[in-house]
Structure 1
Amino acid sequence: MMLKGTTIYSIITGACPRCHQESMYKTKNPYVLRDVLDINDNCSLCGLQYRLEPSFFYGSMYVSYGVGIAFAVAAFLITYLGFETSLLTSFIAIVITLVVFGPVIMRLSRNIWINMFVSYDKNVAKK
């Protein structure tokens, strides 16, 4: 893929932020709700430990708020301004969007959070 080696690649795909070779998650599909937050202990290729410290991903809750707001604003703009619906219809669309995309928002938030602390290393990726 063209973006491989960039932070955005790791955020979108959920790949190891250091080597971009494998998924951090045990189940790639975020809609398997019982496994949505199950993360591997470390990368089998580069050895990166995903939980950098106990409760590391609690910080992703703050990122989740921002990502959720972005999804809500997008839903509002599409429904209210794009389709010229009422405010009530736009509100319902926002709620539906947040419920439907909840698992994706959680994963994106975790991906953003870990990528704030771990950078891609092209020397590790070549091994």
Structure 2
Amino acid sequence: MTPANNKSAKKVPVLEAFIKAKCPRCRRGDIYSTPTYGFSAQRMHERCSHCNLHYEREPGYWYVAMFVSYTFNVAEMVTFAVGTHILTGSNSPWLYVGVLMAVVFLLSPFNYRYSRVALLYWLTPGLNYEPWRAEDKAPLPGDGKAGEKPD
């Protein structure tokens, strides 16, 4: 069965797969092996456990995630600074410094994780969702085996 005529694959919603940090190609395998918040460092799988996608597309690929994380930080800081001003009306710079440092500290694990997931989902050319790969025994074109062909 080829990907073009396979209509039985269940399409996983992109937002649900993004939030759960699933593989962007099959949306079944986990990207991370650890939870977002915990006492251990966050660890990524090297490959998708379902479709065998290699997550690090090229050497230095994750450096771009720093720019995505920076964008997340700026958006969060502006949001919380405006929210603090609306709620308190204070002009004290120490209040804003305290609130924003707490926000940066508390959201850094979230930013680390989702900057990489966003990079994989929306900022990597040529990496698209392929619903037929989400099946349990999806054949790879020209391979004849389920999920063993490395990218």
- Normalising by structure 2, what TM-score? 0.72
- Give the structure 2 partner of residue 26 of structure 1: 33
CA offsets, 1:10-54, max 9 Å, x none?
332211111111320111x22235422x21011111111111112
Unpaired segments ≥5 residues, structure 1: none
- The question of 1:121 aligning with 2:130 is answered yes
Structural mapping, 1:41-60, within 5 Å: 41-60=46-65
Which structure: greater helix fraction?
1
Shift of residue 87 of structure 1? Answer: 4.1
- Normalising by structure 1, what TM-score? 0.84
Q: How many equivalent residue pairs? A: 122
- The question of 1:9 aligning with 2:16 is answered yes
Match of 2:103 among 92, 97, 111: 97
CA offsets, 1:63-100, max 9 Å, x none?
11101111111211221113433342123111110011
- Give the structure 1 partner of residue 146 of structure 2: none
- Give the structure 2 partner of residue 76 of structure 1: 81
Partner amino acid, structure 1, of 2:101: V
Q: Which has the larger radius of gyration?
A: 2
Q: Aligned in 2, Cα 1:97/1:123: closer, same or farther, shift over 3 Å?
A: same
Distance 2:26 2:87 in 1: 40
Cα pair 1:21 1:125 within 8 Å, conserved: yes
